[in-house]
Amino acid sequence: MVTGELRRRADEIWQRILAHPFVAELYAGTLPMDKFKYYLLQDYNYLVNFAKALSLAASRAPSVDLMKTALELAYGTVTGEMANYEALLKEVGLSLRDAAEAEPNRVNVSYMAYLKSTCALEGFYQCMAALLPCFWSYAEIAERHGGRLKENPVHVYKKWASVYLSPEYRGLVERLRAVLDSSGLSAEELWPYFKEASLYELEFWQAAYEGH
């Protein structure tokens, strides 16, 4: 499987993601709330642009079915996932206006620019290789740390994490992997995009932890 090989190649990066103090503390319930608030504001901004990248990817799709896949993901991001974030913002005393006015940090700006430029200029499968680490790494984080949630005293952290533990989310990840696995492209061809996005995921967590 192409995606299995991509994941194997990126393991050193992903192990750092999985062990990152932000996610470890979030699932354990020890993450300071101000760090989570900062993350929510940054990630809401990121999701807006992630949906734009998916829409750009749809325009590169080699078939109607693949175009539908990208557009369905874009629609799901701007409806279900962002609605969930709106609820989380309210729970921690923030508003949509706060999210809209929050200035994206440098990692966020660079990551968003990378995804949008890749999805505007490269092929469809290269776009998917760049977008997959975001979806997939969150599922692996949940798998690694999900057992900690039983003792997690922070309701909003448990609510946030529950999305990535759901069978629906796992199914989404498998669907995206299947798209790349059936692409006919080699891991070598897709690796630069998967690697770059994986590094951005790691840097995004670090920026959230540091608050800048």
The b-or-e profile of 58-81 (16+ CB within 10 A means b, else e) is bebbeeeebbebbbebbeebbeeb
- As a whole number of angstroms, the distance between CA 181 and CA 184 comes to 7
Summarised one tens digit per residue, pLDDT across range 45-97 is 998 899 899 999 999 999 999 999 888 887 777 666 777 888 899 999 999 89
Each residue's pLDDT tens digit, 118-135:
999 999 999 999 999 999
Domain ranges across the chain: 2-210
Q: Is the pTM of this model over 0.85?
A: yes
The class of domain 2-210 in CATH terms is mainly alpha
Work out the pLDDT band at 172, boundaries 50, 70, 90. confident
Cβ atoms 128, 176 nearer than 8 A: yes
> pLDDT per residue over 175-194, tens digit each?
999 999 999 999 999 999 99
